[in-house]
Amino acid sequence: MAPSTALAFAVAVAAAAAAILVGCATVPSDAEVSAKAAAVLKASFREQGQAKLDRLTQDDTQKTCSEYSGKALPKDVAERIEKENLASIQWPADGKYLGDWKAGERIAQEGRGMQYSDDPKVPAGANCYACHQLAPQELSYGTIGPTLYQFGKVRGYTAEMRKYAYGKIWNAEAYNACTNMPRFGHRGILTSQQVKDVVALLMDPDSPVNK
Amino acid sequence: MRGHRHEPNRFVAIVLALAAFAVQAQGSAVDEIAKYRAALQDGNPAELWEARGAALWKEKRGPKNASLEQCDLGRGAGVVKGAYTELPRYFADADRVMDLETRIVWCMVTLQGYTEADAKKGPFGGPDRKSDMEAYVAFVTSESRGIRMNVGQSHPKELEAYRLGEKMFYFRGGTHDFACATCHGEDAKRIRLQDLPNLTQKAGAQKAYTTWPAYRVSQGELRSFQWRLNDCFRQQRFPELIFASDASIALTMFLARNANGAAFDAPAIKR
């Protein structure tokens, strides 16, 4: 190869290498797109009523579950999320888990709560029927979650099951990482007493759910 | 133009009648709702918004006393036909990706001389005031009826908007940890009795996207896609999505492009 040809070849190789590098630099990685999406979201909302901009700041569970949305969740990641959330559950000081199922039914029916259009002074509902079948009298129920009809009757009216139901409603991520279900106690949507009332709707033998 | 106001009452009566059916059995209630929806297709008040939008489009307005007739919606100045099926898209004059509403704001500023803030005022109508923006949207989208969705990705900024929109679709936040995907990520799900489209699948995205904007019977208003996103986020317990914001454009890009290949069929009518 003549020196001039070799030089031209070297220049061509260098140019191609530079083009590849530039090409790589202009295609952002998945993590970069995620970070930019979070930043663009923050700039695209304004606070309204009770919904402030801090609702766009993700906690570790939200961030991790967003990342793995639509993909298989690795076992170790799922275990970490469940462990962290389980550790944060505030169990009732009096050790009692069963409230009033009639109050629980009202909470399960109530769809208002935490939207910027809702009155923050009115206690929030859990809107269980939006996603679950519960009492068979209610025909207007959703299907995002499984049916909970005969929840207690099928599983047994045991102390362990009452505690599990309380924990699940308080923080569902403790039992099923990246579930669609909100963490009603953990995120301050429901009070401890409201959670107990919904537990009673599921676990009281007199509740229509168990008829 | 006040004639449509009595329409919702008649529909409310039908809804109540159907609620009585629902007590009998859920299966038949679902059937009845399907019949009700079919009955709605016969005469759509959205035509009133389309007509008002068509007239406003030609009207000389704003500080420059100009019409929107020369607005370039992507197919060249003055071309409205089919424009919506290629939106959102990158516009070289603005050097950014714009959806329909953002582009109309751009034209109101450049052609008519409005300030951007004025052009963005009152994007959604209510009981006490009509929205000119929703009328413009009804008119422009009606000119794409029957034409297949064909949203491009040739410009890097179009690809970027799509990728950002996809991330936003899966972004979980707020008090309830909800993302768009929470309700719109699986087939054959519903909230109460409301069927939810799976927007992660082609068929679901096509059916949903090509039937917005829509006249909402329950509200007596024609609702744009910007409104659809705004109200989804309200129910998601997020703060308020800003009209024509970058996130709203990116999400629209993601959903619109996923609907490619389907014939556009709106303004539609929904419960």
pLDDT at position B4, please?
A: 44
Q: Do B179 and A58 touch (CB under 8 A)?
A: no
Closest Cα in chain B, distance from residue A3 (Å): 40
Report chain B residues whose CB lies below 8 A from the CB of A140.
Answer: 22, 26, 29, 192-193
- The pLDDT tens digits for B62-86 are 999 999 999 999 999 999 999 999 9
Report the b/e string of B88-126 with b at 16+ CB within 10 A: bbbbeeeeebbbbbbbbbbbbbbbbebeeeebbeebbbe
Chain A residues 67-96 with a CB less than 8 Å from chain B = 69-70
Confidence of residue A71 (pLDDT cuts 50, 70, 90): confident
pLDDT at position B6, please?
A: 43
Q: Check whether B1 has a pLDDT greater than 90.
A: no
Q: Check whether B29 has a pLDDT greater than 70.
A: no
pLDDT at position B25, please?
A: 54
| A140/B contact by beta carbon, under 8 A | yes
Of B7, B2, B56, B3, give the one whose Cα is nearest residue B216: B7
- How far apart, in whole angstroms, are the C-alpha atoms of residue B262 and residue A8? 51
- How far apart, in whole angstroms, are the C-alpha atoms of residue B228 and residue B197? 13
pLDDT at position B179, please?
A: 98
Q: Do B182 and A144 touch (CB under 8 A)?
A: yes
* B10 in Cβ contact with B17 (< 8 Å): no
Q: Which of A24, A32, A40 to mutate to test the interface with B (most CBs of B within 10 A)?
A: A40
Mean pLDDT over residues B96-110, rounded?
98
The burial of B43, by beta-carbon neighbours within 10 Å (0-12 exposed, 13-18 middle, 19 or more buried), is given as: exposed
Q: Check whether A43 has a pLDDT greater than 60.
A: yes
The burial of A84, by beta-carbon neighbours within 10 Å (0-12 exposed, 13-18 middle, 19 or more buried), is given as: middle
ipTM of the complex: 0.88
Q: Which of A29, A40, A44 to mutate to test the interface with B (most CBs of B within 10 A)?
A: A44
pLDDT at position A27, please?
A: 82
Mean pLDDT over residues B235-256, rounded?
98
- How far apart, in whole angstroms, are the C-alpha atoms of residue A105 and residue A46? 34
pLDDT at position B23, please?
A: 46
Report chain B residues whose CB lies below 8 A from the CB of A144.
Answer: 182-183, 186, 189-191, 196
- Neighbouring CB atoms inside 10 A of A83's CB total 12
- Mean model confidence pLDDT for chain B: 91
Report the b/e string of B212-244 with b at 16+ CB within 10 A: bbbbbbebbbbbbbbbbbbbbbbebbbbbbbbb
Q: Check whether A2 has a pLDDT greater than 80.
A: no
- The pLDDT tens digits for A85-102 are 999 999 999 999 999 999
pLDDT at position B36, please?
A: 74
Mean pLDDT over residues B113-131, rounded?
95
Report the b/e string of A32-67 with b at 16+ CB within 10 A: ebbebbbebbeebbeebebbeeebbebbebbebbbb
Task: Dihedral sign for Cα B154, B250, B147, B106, please.
Answer: negative
Confidence of residue B228 (pLDDT cuts 50, 70, 90): very high
Query: In this complex, how many residue pairs, one in chain A and one in chain B, have their CB atoms less than 8 Å apart?
Result: 143
Q: Check whether B2 has a pLDDT greater than 60.
A: no
Between B37 and A76, name the one with better pLDDT.
A76
Q: Is this structure's pTM higher than 0.95?
A: no
**Range name among A118-127, B32-41, B152-161, B226-235 with the lowest pLDDT average:** B32-41
Closest Cα in chain B, distance from residue A130 (Å): 5
- Mean model confidence pLDDT for chain A: 92
Q: Return the residue matching tokens 């629902």.
A: B22
pLDDT at position A174, please?
A: 98
Report chain A residues whose CB lies below 8 A from the CB of B156.
Answer: 26
| A182/B contact by beta carbon, under 8 A | yes
pLDDT at position A175, please?
A: 98
Q: Check whether B142 has a pLDDT greater than 70.
A: yes
Q: Check whether B31 has a pLDDT greater than 90.
A: no
Residue from B107, B180, B183, B232 carrying the catalytic annotation: B232
Report chain B residues whose CB lies below 8 A from the CB of A114.
Answer: 174-176, 237
pLDDT at position B11, please?
A: 47
**Range name among A49-58, A68-77, A193-202 with the lowest pLDDT average:** A68-77
Q: Check whether B12 has a pLDDT greater than 50.
A: no
Between B175 and A1, name the one with better pLDDT.
B175
B232 labelled catalytic: yes
Q: Check whether A117 has a pLDDT greater than 90.
A: yes
